Amino acid sequence: MKASSYYHSQKLVPYVFVLPFLISIAVFYVYPIIGTIIMSFQQVVPGQTHFIGLANYKRVISSDFLTALKNSSIYTLLTILILVPGPIILAVLLSKGPSHMNNALRAAFFIPSLVSVVVAGTLFRLMFAANGKAVVNAMLAWFGLKPVDWILGGARQAMFLMVLVAVWRWTGVNIIYFLAGLQAIPEDLYDAAAIDGAGPLNKFFHITLPLLRPTIIFVTTISIFGGFAMFEESYVLWQGVSPNNFGLTIVWLIYQKGFQLGDMGTASAIGLVLMVIVFTLSLSVLNLFGFFKREE
């Protein structure tokens, strides 16, 4: 408490420190959020914008929106189911052993995340091209399987491709988060468990997993944000036009309505619905993990 009198004598300084944040939040977050809310009740036409009540929200419940919502939800669920357990196991395997080897492997998993979405999308388009010569279909042929039209063949193939790109790009990042989380677990816990005769699996389920909980919560939450915000992967995979809306996601729909069709009102309404969905989901997940229970 002695130090705190120092801080109080400096009344102005702390506000100078947080000033850049306050300004940028006010201008670039609060103002746009209010703008989005207002626009969602308006017919936005240059020069003659006017309020139309809930009409935009009625327009939200269209078949396109339901398709987009379904795609985004399945995508988010699948990416979480793969991109949480997978990287945990990999991080545990990479946390012990020869460090040069582990560093090289870690870098190999991480490098795909450095590649731009546009590059990743192009790359997967070309590897998963529909003809029999393209590399993935050529591999299928080794097993006597027919070439698959990955891009335009159907909703399942499309979802497979989107999730695959996500797994390729994000496994390495999540490994890093979990490795960082693992570093925070005290080594003596494992030593004590070893004395009690616990095997590796026992240690994993009774020490590693429970103590990784903060990181698991963190990764799951950012995966919900990321999953529902997905746009660029499918935009690039389908080069901006997805037949039958195989690759349509909610944010793509917002982009389509707002910037390509000029219907900013409906786009804003969809955006706010998305925000409510993401908030509700992430708060329920946090609640499920007991994040709001004080542990003292």
Partner 1 sequence: MRTRGFVAIFATILKYLCLIVLAVSFIFPILALVTASFRPGRDLLRYGITFKSIIPDSLDPKNFVALVKSRDGIYLTWFKNSLFLTILQTVLSLFFSSFVGYGLAKYHFRGRNTIFVIVLFVMMVPLQILMLPLYKLTAALGIMNTYLGVLLPFIVSPFAIFFFRQYAIGIPNDFIDAGRVDGLGEFRIFFKLITPLMAPAYGAMAILLAQQSWNNFLWPLIVMRTGNMFTLPIGLNSLLTPYGNNYDMLIAGSCAASIPIIIVFFFFQRYFISGLSAGGIKE
Ranges within 246-265 binding partner 1 (CB under 8 A): 251, 254-255, 258-259, 264
In whole angstroms, how close is the CB of 147 to partner 1 at the nearest point? 11
Residue number with CB closer to partner 1 (81 or 180): 180
Applying CB under 8 A, among 45, 81, 152, 184 the residue interacting with partner 1 is: 184
Residue 15 in contact with partner 1, rule: CB under 8 A = yes
Of the pair 63, 183, the CB lying nearest partner 1 is at 183
Output the smallest distance, CB 155 to partner 1, in A: 20
CB of 66 to partner 1, least distance (A): 19
Q: By CB under 8 A, name the one of 6, 50, 156, 201 that touches partner 1.
A: 6
Q: Are 291 and 217 in contact (CB under 8 A)?
A: yes
Give CA separation, 257 vs 21, 37, 72, in Å: 31, 16, 17
Rounded CA-CA distance 172/289 in Å is 24
In this chain, which of 41, 57, 110, 160 binds partner 1, going by CB under 8 A?
110
Of 65, 170, 231, 246, which lies in the binding site for partner 1, with binding defined by CB under 8 A? 231
Residue in the structure block whose two tokens are 């499918």: 234
Binds partner 1 (CB under 8 A): choice among 75, 128, 170, 246: 128
Q: What is the DSSP string of 18-76?
A: HHHHHHHHIIIIIHHHHHHHHHTTEE--TT--EE-TTHHHHHHSSHHHHHHHHHHHHHH
Considering only residues 29 to 88 of the shown chain, the ones binding partner 1 according to CB under 8 A are 29, 31-36, 39
* Residue 104: partners with Cβ closer than 8 Å, 6 or more residues away: none
C-alpha triplet 231, 233, 238: angle, nearest 5°: 95
Could you tell me how many residues make up the chain? Answer: 296
The count of residues interacting with partner 1 (CB under 8 A) is 100
Question: Do residues 269 and 40 make contact, with C-beta atoms less than 8 angstroms apart?
Answer: yes
Neighbouring CB atoms inside 10 A of 142's CB total 7
Instruction: Select from 50-58, 63-71, 74-82, 118-126 the region that touches partner 1 (CB under 8 A).
Output: 118-126
Whether 179 contacts 208, CB under 8 Å: no
What's the alpha-carbon Rg for the chain, to the nearest Å? 24
Q: Find the shortest distance in angstroms from Cβ 103 to partner 1.
A: 8
x-or-dash string of contact with partner 1, 189-218, rule CB under 8 A: -------------------------xx--x
Q: How far is the CB of 154 from partner 1 (least distance, A)?
A: 19
**Binding residue (CB under 8 A) for partner 1 from 42, 60, 112, 158:** 112
Strand intervals (E) in 180-258:
none
